[in-house]
Amino acid sequence: MLNDSTAYFSINHAFDVYLQAWDSGQPLPSVEQLSFMLPPSLQLISDIKVLESDCLLQLRHLDDDAKTVVEFLKLQSRKIDMVLQHVIGKEEYEGDYYTGSHFGGSSIRLTTNEAITVGSQFKVSLNIKEELVALICFATVQSCSLITNEAEEAPQAFSIELAFCVIQDADVEQLVKASLSLQQKQLKLRKIAL
């Protein structure tokens, strides 16, 4: 369970998100119960990311003589990532599809054509293809604001912020790492553009 003291940096980046309304009469699942809700493909991706993260920590302690091994392992990791991206692309998600605009370790933001009631709870399936992040969590709508558009003919749109209320620690870590990685890539692109 996250609270205001665990707010994380959020990055502007498009991603896929599926929202499935959660019955307010039902209690939210625990983090342990959430792990049993993952489809096998997402569980596989989660397990591989944890193993990869542990391995990378160990590789940092190797000396310069091991650079060739490290580069080979990075290549192997990239090949596995490509296969997993294909798996993610084939996964069928429950709920209504939206395009997210911002994400971080504590919340996401997306745009909708209809308002969503603040306090509503959703089962969230999140997919950030570029960073190979695919997870399921639960979130509560924190805000719903009308996006002002200067074009008179533009359709009405709302910015919805959802704060995570049930999410695995490993998934928070994945989101934080993905946001930092994407920020680094965005900064490099800006530097090149200058």
Report if residue 49 sits inside a domain: yes
pLDDT average, residue stretch 71-100: 78
Looking at every residue in the chain, the average pLDDT score rounds to 84
Report if residue 5 sits inside a domain: no
Q: Is pLDDT at 181 greater than 70 in this prediction?
A: yes
Which residue type is seen at 7? A
Cα distance between residue 77 and residue 44, in whole Å: 14
CATH number, residue 145: 2.40.10.220
Report if residue 6 sits inside a domain: no
CA distances 164 to 76, 105, 171, 189, Å, are: 33, 8, 11, 30
Which residue type is seen at 64? D
Q: Which residue did the predictor score with more confidence, 172 or 91?
A: 172
Q: Is pLDDT at 2 greater than 70 in this prediction?
A: no
Report if residue 170 sits inside a domain: yes
Report if residue 2 sits inside a domain: no
160: burial class by Cβ within 10 Å (0-12, 13-18, 19+)?
Answer: buried
Report if residue 3 sits inside a domain: no
Report if residue 4 sits inside a domain: no
pLDDT tens string 53-64? 777 667 666 666
Question: What residues are paired with 136 via a beta bridge?
Answer: 125
Question: What residues are paired with 98 via a beta bridge?
Answer: 17
The pLDDT assigned to 56 comes to 66
> β-strand 158-166 against 96-104: which pairing, if any?
unpaired
CA distances 43 to 16, 46, 62, 88, Å, are: 18, 5, 30, 11
The range of the structural domain enclosing residue 161 comes to 11-23+31-193
Look up residue 111 and give its two tokens.
Answer: 């745009």
Give me the number of domains the chain comprises: 1
Report if residue 59 sits inside a domain: yes
* Whole-structure pTM value: 0.81
Cα distance between residue 21 and residue 2, in whole Å: 20
